[in-house]
A and B are shown apart, each in its own frame.
Chain A
Amino acid sequence: EVQLVDSGGGLVQPGGSLRLSCAASGFTFSDYAMSWVRQAPGKGLEWVSGISGSGGSAFYADSVKGRFTISRDNSKNMLNLQMSSLRAEDTAVYYCAKGMHSGGWLPFDYWGQGALVTVSS
């Protein structure tokens, strides 16, 4: 059974940093691209970043480019999102999501339960 477990959320001050993690199980992790998708309170979904199965390619939304870094450890089946220079507008539930097809970025067939990040002083 595929499982994605998000962790690392919390309260952080503006300008601060936070690292999210997603523990994956139930599939060959290195075969699939993974992404982070966020949802601000009461708002819609926003794709944040994606990384290829090998980790050799990564893409970012303009809203986080230069501040967030996505990475993965295929030996530990872990996906990470290092977030720095955090702003109030980064407050959201962050979901990790698995690409459905080997080698494809979209769609996402499995999602984590989400990790809440609150940026506030």
Chain B
Amino acid sequence: GENVEQHPSTLSVQEGDSAVIKCTYSDSASNYFPWYKQELGKRPQLIIDIRSNVGEKKDQRIAVTLNKTAKHFSLHITETQPEDSAVYFCAAAYYMYSGGGADGLTFGKGTHLIIQP
């Protein structure tokens, strides 16, 4: 099965600086790579995702890059703000676009991002 490794487990950055979280995956068949943000006591929420037919995707201050050859993908947050403090999870899955859905996401263990004022 798929295995997703995520680093670092804790990341502390100064407000306004950039943060980068990295993940590697093991199954070369995986083609869907989402990132979830979980605030304390809340549900995980999707913040950005990327599919294997693109190498980079941006949404305002967040971006994700994918290197299929090396089997790794990264989350980049620029101009960090206090509300970015949370736990971030990467995940991977093989999704059948012809139908049938996904057999569930395999998640990394999470990165606790701390934004220092």
Bound pair (A, B): no
Residues of B in contact with A (beta carbons under 8 Å apart): none
